[in-house]
């Protein structure tokens, strides 16, 4: 088993709704952060945000210092990763007991494999891409708490379902240091349609679907992207909040 497979099999503890609210009560005044997203308005007695699960970082995060919205190209040679275009928008909020407000100045990192299941910038038993930086980059959230990326629909590799890694970091004198790391997932039926197209179709049938993925099984359904399609381009908006008491 290689390092990527070992690391991808790790599963972090995920809070249930009940645990989230218990911690919120216990953490008042403790200066703790958590990850939250909008909840039903019917739960008026509770904070209006609930937890998104944090998941393993994976073996291939690199702090590449690439501040860019379009992450498809490789700065080393200008080549562009082939694949179905994906527009990904993060809407990051800061959460208090009074509600959610846009969080500006947060660093949002995104990285994932290409259509052939290959990550850039690393040495793996199946490939060596050291020096490459395709499909990596970060954006800083604007005044509306938004960070936008142009990328491609990820490919697959053995042992994992289709996913995108992301990390949200805060490092300021007023807010202190904090980071939240997790993964985004796709509906299998949409992936099946995408993978009938080139270059994905040349790889043959993928092995692992959402239900077979040990990391996805731990609340991965809360990290699913709701995709829309316009022509050949897919788009998704992902809302997530960071809570500090």
Nearest to 37 by CA among 15, 63, 57: 15
Q: Which two tokens stand for residue 188?
A: 């299998």
Q: 65 φ, ψ to 5°?
A: 60, 30
Q: Which helix (H) or strand (E) segment is 151 a member of?
A: strand 146-152
Cα dihedral sign, 111-112-113-119: positive
> In order along the chain (245 residues), what is the average pLDDT of each group of 10 residues?
47 33 29 39 39 83 95 96 97 81 92 97 94 97 96 96 96 70 97 97 94 95 96 94 66
Beta bridge partners, 49, equal 38
Per DSSP bridges, beta strands 85-96 and 233-244 are: parallel
Q: What is the pLDDT of residue 140?
A: 97
Nearest to 152 by CA among 96, 93, 232, 50: 232
Beta bridge partners, 168, equal 108, 180
The DSSP output letter for 98 is: T
For the chain, domains (ranges, CATH) are 55-91+100-235 (2.60.130.10)
pTM reported for the whole predicted model = 0.81
Q: Name the residue with tokens 């300021």.
A: 172
By residue count, the chain amounts to 245
Longest dimension (CA), the chain: 55
Q: What is the pLDDT of residue 175?
A: 55
| Calpha distance 21→135 (Å, rounded) | 36
Residues whose CB is less than 8 angstroms from the CB of residue 154 and which lie 6 or more positions away in sequence, other chains included: 83, 112, 113, 114, 115, 162, 163, 164, 186
| Calpha distance 62→109 (Å, rounded) | 9
């Amino acid at each position: 088993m290689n390092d990527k497979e070992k690391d991808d099999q790790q599963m972090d503890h995920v809070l249930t709704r009940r645990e989230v609210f218990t911690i919120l009560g216990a953490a008042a005044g403790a200066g703790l952060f958590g990850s939250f997203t909008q909840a039903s308005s019917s739960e008026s007695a509770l904070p209006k945000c609930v937890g998104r699960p944090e998941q393993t970082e994976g073996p291939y995060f690199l702090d590449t210092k690439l501040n860019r919205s379009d992450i498809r190209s490789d700065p080393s040679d200008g080549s562009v990763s082939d694949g179905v275009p994906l527009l990904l928008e993060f809407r990051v909020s800061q959460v208090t007991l009074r509600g959610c407000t846009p969080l500006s100045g947060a660093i949002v990192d995104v990285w994932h494999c290409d259509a052939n299941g290959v990550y850039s910038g690393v040495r793996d038993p199946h490939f060596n891409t050291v020096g490459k930086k395709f499909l990596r980059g970060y954006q800083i959230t604007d005044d509306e708490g938004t960070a936008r990326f142009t990328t491609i629909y990820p490919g697959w590799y053995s042992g994992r379902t289709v996913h995108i890694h992301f990390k949200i970091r805060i490092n300021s004198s007023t807010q202190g240091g904090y980071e939240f790391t997790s993964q985004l997932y796709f509906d299998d039926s949409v992936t099946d349609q995408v993978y009938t197209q080139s270059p994905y179709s040349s790889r043959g049938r993928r092995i692992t679907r959402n239900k077979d993925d040990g990391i996805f099984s731990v609340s991965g359904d809360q990290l699913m992207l709701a995709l829309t399609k316009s022509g050949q381009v897919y788009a998704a908006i992902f809302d997530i909040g960071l809570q500090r008491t």
